[in-house]
Amino acid sequence: MANNRPKAWIAWSSGKDSAWSLHVARQKKEVDIVGMLTTVTGDYDRVSMHAVRTALLDAQAEAVGLPLYRVTIPAKCTNEIYESKMAEAMDAAKAAGVTHMVFGDLFLEEIRNYRVANLAKVGMSANFPLWRSDTRALAREMISAGLKAYLTCIDPRKMPRDLAGHAFDDDLLGRLPSGVDPCGENGEFHTFVYGGPMFRKEIPVKIGDTVEREGFVFTDVLPA
């Protein structure tokens, strides 16, 4: 039977929300996801903000079973540079017949509107499979379904430093301060996913050092 669904790339952050949006989008079957797009900070050779090593990003792509497309940006990246790099990526996507981008955004209207507007400039559309989900229920749904992740970056102004490197699990949810979104949607924390129903196999990893840099606390995740 012919697949007439529009082709899409997923905006892949290496974290739980993008991983779960892939899982849900595959179930909904509104689009045919044929690739992953990730922003990498070239100076560090790591996923931007999440600080995940690109070797582990490659392992995720293999586990997911999709080709990976990287957008490499400098550490001190202006909005103009970022938008120029993304426009180049969208041109490559369109050349491959891709018409949609899938995002794991949950409730931040400003970010959603920004994505929709920028995609419209190049004649593409956005898909938000998790939009307006109850984040507390969503977090528990992810955990109960077998998603496995570690916190790679936290904002110490909002969370205790000792939660850096913690597993994304029921214990973590119970320890989050009031006001912290259970999915970290307001930037309280970022994660690296190494297992779950969106993967064909679990990625063996171990926790490395924790450092504080530019106001955030980062925990390194290493291949085991």
Clarify whether residues 112 and 205 are in a common domain.
no
Last residue of a domain, one of 107, 127, 147: 127
Per-residue model confidence (pLDDT) at position 3: 74
Per-residue model confidence (pLDDT) at position 2: 53
Closest CA to 192 of 213, 157, 172, 220: 220
Closest CA to 209 of 51, 64, 49: 51
Per-residue model confidence (pLDDT) at position 190: 97
Per-residue model confidence (pLDDT) at position 4: 87
List the CATH number of the domain containing 93: 3.40.50.620
Clarify whether residues 99 and 161 are in a common domain.
no
Q: 2 in a domain, yes or no? A: no
Residues 6 or more apart from 80 whose CB is under 8 A from it?
none
Closest CA to 75 of 100, 43, 98: 43
Last residue of a domain, one of 98, 127, 156: 127
Q: 1 in a domain, yes or no? A: no
Clarify whether residues 16 and 122 are in a common domain.
yes
* Locus of tokens 């790339």: 9
Domain that holds residue 104: 7-127
Four-residue CA torsion sign, 136, 138, 142, 144: positive
Last residue of a domain, one of 97, 127, 157: 127
Number of structural domains the chain divides into: 2
Closest CA to 148 of 183, 190, 194, 206: 194
Per-residue model confidence (pLDDT) at position 209: 97
Query: Do 7 and 34 touch, CB atoms closer than 8 A?
Result: yes
Q: 44 in a domain, yes or no? A: yes
Clarify whether residues 118 and 13 are in a common domain.
yes
Q: 151 in a domain, yes or no? A: yes
Could you state, in chain order, the average pLDDT of each consecutive group of 10 residues for the chain (224 residues)?
A: 84 97 97 96 90 96 97 91 91 94 95 93 94 97 98 97 97 96 96 98 97 95 96
Clarify whether residues 122 and 162 are in a common domain.
no
Per-residue model confidence (pLDDT) at position 155: 97
User: pTM of the prediction?
Assistant: 0.95
